Every structure is written in structure tokens, then in C-alpha cells.
A and B are shown apart, each in its own frame.
Chain A
């Protein structure tokens, strides 16, 4: 019982226990045993979930490793060979260089897409004439599978990084326009009233009311745009070279270096996970209100 009272999970119980004569002995005894049962149950559940998670990963890796029995390594490699290859590629700097190139192309394209997409979405959302005028074009642009535009980019900008950056920009741009505009259209009347009532000018309202209120839509758009732009990045690099992740994936595939190929795909996957996590972290740190007010539509409770 003393060990139970000192655990952080039962602070109330421990403070009661320190008071003499609060409960009868048997009452306390039964409470303690109840606690113990509950705690055991929670612990058991957590352990079970953790075991399930690691088991799934181990089974996957084990099954993959076992394919070596009947598959030549050139088809699928194995986890052990891939990890060794990853380590070697890191040691000689290949992965770092590729990630650097890819990240530069991706960042340049997506930052421009975010800025200009938000700008156009905002202007359209606040100017009825422009919204009417550009709405069909935006729908058209957003509906076009941007992947199909890569050859055009090559014609315009040549076989270089610029074509890749513009390509990624176009992919992300439409998504940001569409989401910003959608957010602008549903800004709560109550927030708009605040701007109107205090006599804000139209552009004061845009920057102090409309744009902040649209942040949840902008972040949702950014997540989708990021996913699409990563696909676009790999595709553009496979076509255009330049030494990025898509480029090395392509060449390892061409030369049947399957171990290196799997290692490079793994690096791409990790880069993507890292970028999504950064976006989540940015939202949680800088815009905590999005999470805090999304559970209930109203800020009062």
C-alpha cells in the first residue's frame, strides 16, 4: 500500500491515506485493491498495445528478410542489406548531398506556392469581381493533373533545377489558392462583425480578421500541397537529374543496385515524415488556437 500511495497516478488517494481515520480499514483495503486492479489493467493495456506495435514491425521486417530464401537480393534486397547500404551511403555523403538538393528544390517551390497561393486566394476572397473573373481559371488549374505539365516546364526552363522548382510551385500553388479562398468564404459572421463594428478599412479587415481566421484552411491546404509536392519533386528529379533523391533512386534502379535503391527510398520516406512533423509542430507552436478551438465550433464554453 505504501508503494501505491507514492505513485503519481493516485495523488488523491495518497493525500487521503496520509490523513488518519478517513475511511474504515476495510474500506481502504478494498479501495487500494481496486486501485491496484485498475492500475494493473491500464498497464496491461499499454504493454499490450506496445507489444502489438513492435510485433507488427518485427513481423514485417522478418518476413521481408525471409524473402531472401527464395528471392535473389536484386529483386527486393533485405532489411539488413538496406540498412548497411544506407549506412555506407551516409558515410560517403551521397544521401546528404541528395537530400540537400531535393530539399532546396522542394523548399523553393513550396515557399513560393504558399506565398503566391495565399496572396491570390486572399485577393480573390476579398474582391468579388476578381473572384468571379478568376474562379473558372482556378478550377481549371486545380483540376489539371499538374504532373502532365512537366514536359512543358522542360521546354520553358530547360533541363535544370529551375524547371523542377517551377513545376513544384505549380503543383502547390493551386492547392493553396483553393484552400485560402475556401477559408475566406466561411469566416464567421461574428468575427467579421468585430472588424466592421470597429470601423476597420477593407484591408485592415483582410489582415486582422479574414487572414487569421483562414489559418485552419491554410494549414490543411499546406499539408495536402506538401504531399503532392513531394511526389512532384521525386518525379521532376527522375526526369531532370540534378543529383536529388529522385535522381539517385532512378540511377540505382537503372543499375540494379537494389540495396542502395531501398536505402534511398527509405531516406525519401524519412524526409517526408520529417517535413510533415515540422508542419504539425509549426501549427502547434505558433497557432495553438486552431487545435484548441477545433473541438467546439465556438470559442466560449
Chain B
């Protein structure tokens, strides 16, 4: 399925099927042969068809594709929120069956629990891990400080702006110290300025904490700004079309990266790949 695109791959494309960045270190996350069909009343939708993916340790990888390409479904399957019809997910060589305590998820809808305070929301993952109360409070404070929300720890989350709410969502996920952070279009509902600010913050947190991030988005520039690699997906059936490397040096700044020749080339390439699917519906 990828062969037709490999011919046109010029810029930083990983020709290997799984596209691991580092051939010597085993991938932290190994996804193999994922199939998922949603059966509808009219017709079945092939959300994912034989999807393979390797994610290297410490990598920032983005899944980009049109809505309905199964990128969110893939992320949910990796986390164990949904089950694949077939295929496997391995974390550090161990096959996962259900949810792993070593991963955390940042939701598009944020999903803060309105009956808990901001701090209570950040503590919830730690409660599930049996962390003692004093320690929970200390960790929650630490991560809220990290996202700049120390002053609103005790307020209910619905009193915060959308951008602040998603900061809490990020702090909640980071507080359990995951090896892999899964982010599902986390900034899709935010306005432009807030989104750019949060992108920069996530990039900074990623390099500071040295964690692995799998990021789902339909915003091409967002993917380029954040990622080491970009996985372009196809819809119906949901498949990996191509995996592109991003070599822009870090730290990247919102002001500069857009004008970089590599950004322009990547953007037009990804856009062309996404556009080529439009006829195929």
C-alpha cells in the first residue's frame, strides 16, 4: 500500500516499513498489524487496516490525516481504551493486554472531572496507582507549577479558560510519569494564540522530561513544529501512507519555523499526500 508513495518520497522519508529512527535501540512502542472495523448499519467502515508503527524512545511522533482516517482510533487502541480486531501493541518488548500504567492520555475533550478541584483532577491518576495522599498532593503541586497553574489549584476546573483546562489535562497525564504520553488533538478546540503557546509549552516539557510522545493532529504546521517524525495516514481504509522525518533543529520557535525551507517543503508534501486522498472516497 505504501509503494505508490515511496517513489515520490524525496525529503527525509524513511523507506523502511516501520520507520524506526534508531536502528540500534529497540523501539519503546511497537505496533503490529492492527486491524479495526466499525460495523455500521449501512456499511462497515475499515478504521484501520494492517497498521504497523515503531516509536523510538524519547521520540516525538505525530499522526496526521483527514478526519475518519483512524488516527484517534489507533491512539485509543495503543492506550487500551479500544480493542483492535487483530494485531498487537508492545511496550518495551512486553505485549499489552488492556491499559498500561506506563502510558497516559491527553484527551481532545479534556475530560476534567467537574466535581473535583484542579488539584484533585491532577491527583486522580496517582490515586489509581496507590500513591499516599501527602505524596499525591506534592506531585500534583509540582506538575501544576510546571504548567503555570499553581495559583488555581483549589478552584473547580470549569471556571478556567479552555487553554488552562488543557494545561490541567497535560499536568494530570504527566503526573503519573508515563513513559509514553499519548495526545489526541489536544489543542483542536483552542484559539490560535492559545494553541501556539501550548505547542511551545509541550515542546519544552517534552525536552525537559525526556518522555516519548505520540501526538494526533490534523494541523500540518502543528505536526511539523512539534515532531521528529510525521506519520501521514489515509482514510477508508485507515492506513499509514508515509512516514516523514523532520530535521528542523530544536528548540524551534513559532516565529521562525514556518519560514524554514524544510517546513515549506514538508508542508507542501504532506498537503499533497492528504489532497491525493480526496478523490478516493
B-contacting residues of A (Cβ < 8 Å)? 188, 190-191, 193-201, 204, 208-209, 212-213, 215, 287-289, 292-293, 298-301
Over the window 82-114 of chain B, the binary record of Cβ atoms lying under 8 Å from chain A Cβ atoms (1 yes, 0 no) is: 000000000000000001110011010111111
Contacting residues, chain B, for A188 (C-beta < 8 A): 111
Would you call A292 and B128 a contact (CB within 8 A)? no
Would you call A197 and B158 a contact (CB within 8 A)? no
Known: A293-B158, A301-B162. A194 touches B99 (CB 8 A): no
Q: Which one, B99, B100, B124, B158, contacts A299 given CB within 8 A?
A: B158
Q: Which one, B111, B161, B165, B189, contacts A194 given CB within 8 A?
A: B111
Binding site of B, secondary structure by majority: helix, strand, loop or mixed?
Answer: loop
Would you call B125 and A209 a contact (CB within 8 A)? no
Q: Which one, A201, A208, A298, contacts B109 given CB within 8 A?
A: A298
Q: B146 at interface (Cβ–Cβ under 8 A)?
A: no
Contacting residues, chain A, for B101 (C-beta < 8 A): 199
Complex A-B: 17 CB contacts under 8 Å: A193-B81, A193-B107, A194-B107, A194-B124, A197-B81, A197-B104, A199-B128, A201-B128, A208-B124, A208-B127, A215-B115, A288-B156, A289-B114, A289-B158, A293-B158, A299-B114, A300-B162
Q: From residue B122, how far is it (CB to closest CB) to chain A in Å?
A: 11
Give the docked Cα–Cα distance between A213 and B111 (Å). 12
Q: From residue A214, how far is it (CB to closest CB) to chain B in Å?
A: 10
Known: A299-B110, A299-B158. A212 touches B189 (CB 8 A): no
Q: From residue A219, how far is it (CB to closest CB) to chain B in Å?
A: 12
Residue in chain B with minimal CB distance to A212: B115
Would you list the 7 A-B pairs with minimal beta carbon distance, nearest first?
A190-B111, A289-B114, A198-B125, A197-B105, A198-B128, A200-B128, A212-B115
Q: Which one, B100, B104, B189, contacts A300 given CB within 8 A?
A: B189
Contacting residues, chain B, for A190 (C-beta < 8 A): 107, 109, 111
Contacting residues, chain B, for A200 (C-beta < 8 A): 128
Give the docked Cα–Cα distance between A199 and B161 (Å). 28
Would you call B100 and A199 a contact (CB within 8 A)? yes
Would you call A196 and B127 a contact (CB within 8 A)? no
Give the docked Cα–Cα distance between A208 and B157 (Å). 16
Q: Which one, A197, A215, A289, A300, contacts B99 given CB within 8 A?
A: A197
Q: Chain A CB within 10 Å — which of B81, B99, B158 has the most?
A: B158
Q: Which one, A193, A204, A299, contacts B112 given CB within 8 A?
A: A299
Would you call A193 and B111 a contact (CB within 8 A)? yes
Contacting residues, chain B, for A201 (C-beta < 8 A): 128
Interface residues of B in 149-187 (CB under 8 A from A): 156-159, 161-162, 165, 176
Q: Which one, B104, B109, B158, B159, contacts A198 given CB within 8 A?
A: B104
Q: Which one, A193, A195, A208, A293, contacts B114 given CB within 8 A?
A: A293
Contacting residues, chain B, for A193 (C-beta < 8 A): 81, 105, 107, 111
Residue in chain B with minimal CB distance to A298: B109
Q: B49 at interface (Cβ–Cβ under 8 A)?
A: no
Would you call A289 and B105 a contact (CB within 8 A)? no
Contacting residues, chain A, for B159 (C-beta < 8 A): 292
Give the docked Cα–Cα distance between A201 and B127 (Å). 11
